[in-house]
């Protein structure tokens, strides 16, 4: 990323996971726009197809302060077609040179790095999800998370 840019733009092909712990029984929802034209996955969102995307701006922070308002504006664009779900995230930071970006191996989510994460609640049960993260240094993480507080009894 060029140092003169004020935005960190990451483009991924996945859906957003909304953590039910943040929102209780009423997690936010959004209708994702279907497209017939797949966007180019190149980190740029200047193609006209992105202008039709669902736009999300209401987010909560996971860390360093759980459930706090984001430190800086965040905008996520969502599209899907028969092949994939497309996510473009615009993560603003007035000081991009201070973004934590420790290098490491794939699937290491314990680095000193800023991450953007998304996931699928494929069973729509708000108890488990497949998740995907990418760090500011392009470390990719994927896995499955379960709600450790869930008790069926």
The angle formed by the CA atoms of residues 7, 85 and 145, to the nearest 5 degrees, is: 85
Which pair of tokens denotes residue 57?
């701006």
Q: 97-103: list long-range contacts, CB under 8 Å, 24+ apart.
A: 97/3, 99/8, 99/136, 100/136, 101/135, 101/136, 101/137, 102/135, 102/137, 103/137, 103/139
By the 8 A CB rule, do 116 and 137 touch?
Answer: no
Residue 2's pLDDT is: 40
Which pair of tokens denotes residue 146?
């379960």
CB count, 10 Å around CB of 29?
6
To which residue do tokens 């193609």 refer? 47
Q: Is there a domain that residue 32 lies in?
A: yes
Q: Is there a domain that residue 153 lies in?
A: no
Q: Is there a domain that residue 72 lies in?
A: yes
Q: pTM higher than 0.85 for the full model?
A: no
Q: Is there a domain that residue 1 lies in?
A: no
Total domains in the fold of the chain: 1
Q: Is there a domain that residue 127 lies in?
A: yes
Q: Is there a domain that residue 141 lies in?
A: yes
* Residue 115: closest CA among 79, 74, 69: 74
| pLDDT band (50, 70, 90) for residue 76 | very high
Q: For 45-63, how does the pLDDT look when each residue is reduced to its tens digit (9 = 90+)? A: 999 999 999 999 988 887 7
What range does the domain containing 104 cover? Answer: 7-146
Query: What is the DSSP code string of 9-43?
Result: EEEESS-PPP-HHHHTT-----PPEE-SSPPP-SS
Whole-angstrom distance, CA of residue 131 vs CA of residue 113? 17
Q: Is there a domain that residue 50 lies in?
A: yes
Q: For 97-146, how does the pLDDT look when each residue is reduced to its tens digit (9 = 90+)? A: 887 777 777 767 776 777 788 888 888 888 888 888 888 888 888 888 88
Q: Is there a domain that residue 113 lies in?
A: yes
């Amino acid at each position: 990323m060029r140092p003169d840019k004020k935005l960190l733009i990451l483009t991924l092909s996945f859906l957003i996971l909304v953590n039910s712990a943040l929102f209780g029984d009423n997690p936010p929802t959004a209708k994702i726009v279907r497209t017939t034209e797949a966007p180019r996955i190149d980190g740029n969102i200047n193609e006209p197809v992105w202008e039709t995307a669902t736009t999300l701006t209401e987010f909560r922070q996971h860390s360093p302060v759980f459930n706090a308002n984001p430190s800086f504006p965040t905008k996520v664009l969502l599209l899907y077609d028969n092949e994939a779900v497309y996510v473009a995230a615009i993560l603003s930071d007035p000081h991009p040179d201070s973004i934590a970006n420790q290098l490491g191996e794939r699937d290491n989510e314990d680095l000193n790095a800023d991450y953007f994460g998304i996931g699928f609640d494929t069973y729509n049960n708000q108890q488990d999800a497949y998740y995907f993260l990418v760090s500011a240094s392009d470390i990719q993480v994927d896995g499955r998370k379960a709600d450790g507080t869930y008790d069926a009894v």
